[in-house]
Amino acid sequence: MVDPTKNLVPELGILAVEIDKKVVEMLPDLRKQYGVVVAARAGDSVFSSGALEVGDVIYAVNTEPITSIQALRSALRALQDSESVVLQIERDGRLQYLTLETE
């Protein structure tokens, strides 16, 4: 399911998987039917906090809904160099917000 060339999100230092029908079947308790799942850590992040964990589901970046890995990359690349980012995630069945700042 994870191809490092297609699933890498270097800004966050993760490999991600898009939520589709197969993923929904494996994770039936997801709160939303879109987003990306953190499949693995994949190196360093440009953000000072390695706050994302394997299994986290990213639903939004700075209130912009994330429906694909490409949308996640685009939202992160659109940030200004010193701009922090707020991710809406689901972890252990709970929605929460993570604020990440650049190093």
More reliable by pLDDT, 3 or 38: 38
Provide the pLDDT for residue 18: 94
- Nearest C-alpha neighbor of 34 from the set 73, 60, 63, 61: 60
Tokens of 78: 């659109």
Provide the pLDDT for residue 4: 75
**Mind listing the pLDDT tens digit for each residue in 63-92?**
999 999 999 999 998 887 667 889 999 999
**Mind listing the pLDDT tens digit for each residue in 14-60?**
999 999 888 888 888 889 989 999 999 887 776 656 688 999 999 99
Rounded-to-integer distance, Cα 50 and Cα 70, Å:
21
CATH 2.30.42.10 fits 4-100, yes or no: yes
